[in-house]
Amino acid sequence: MYRILLIGIFITVFGCTSDSATPERLRLEWNYEYSSHILHAKLIEPKTSISNSNKCSVNFSVFEVLESFKGSAASGDLLQITGVSAHEVTVEGSEHLLMLIPFVAEDFPGYGECSNQKYSNFLSIHNWCCSIDTRDEHSLIVYDMINSEQKSENYLLPTEPIFNFLRQQDK
């Protein structure tokens, strides 16, 4: 009975939610302000950089920028981005909405032996928003955090209203 009630509430609340509510649900205004770069990008390949006589190992992924909503990257640019392996979708060719900040090795646990200078052109995911389901209509694959360790089931949000919102932010 409890499940039926929750399903009913979910349908009522989210079934009536307009696309204009989507940016608030993803906290896009806050994330836009906090991020140095926000990109729609395609994962090209995961890599590891070893430096400082093998004392530093940085896992990162190379992404191709498909569209830049904030930051200096242009479509077609290839960027090195850390923090990808901590998330669910790391398949080469997968698309993502990335919210990024500069990677400063000293700020991240486990990178104390790494030179900030060597990695000054790297970016890091500060808030994992979404992988993108590219079948049929493009949709963000999102989930809510139930608590600090559990996530809800994945659900889809169409990319178009979210991308339109992001496109309007710089104007």
Tens of pLDDT along 51-71? 999 999 998 999 999 999 999
Q: Does domain 21-169 have CATH number 1.20.1070?
A: no
> For the chain, what is the mean pLDDT?
81
Instruction: Say whether pLDDT at 9 is over 50.
Output: no
What is the pTM assigned to this prediction? 0.79
Instruction: Say whether pLDDT at 130 is over 70.
Output: yes
Q: Spell out the domain ranges in the chain.
A: 21-169
pLDDT at 116: 87
* Band of residue 22 on the pLDDT scale cut at 50, 70, 90: low
| Cα separation, 96 vs 142, whole angstroms | 11
61: amino acid identity, one letter: S
- Phi/psi zone of residue 27: left (φ > 0), alpha (ψ -120 to 50 degrees), beta? left
pLDDT at 14: 35
pLDDT at 110: 80
pLDDT digits (tens, 9 = 90+) for 94-124: 999 999 999 998 887 788 889 888 999 999 9
pLDDT at 18: 39
Instruction: Say whether pLDDT at 1 is over 70.
Output: no
Radius of gyration of the chain, Cα coordinates, nearest whole angstrom: 18
Torsions phi, psi for 89 (to 5 deg): -110, 110
| Cα separation, 145 vs 46, whole angstroms | 26
State percent of the chain over pLDDT 90. Answer: 46
pLDDT at 29: 87
pLDDT at 154: 85
* Band of residue 142 on the pLDDT scale cut at 50, 70, 90: confident
Tokens describing residue 17: 């939610």
Instruction: Say whether pLDDT at 50 is over 80.
Output: yes
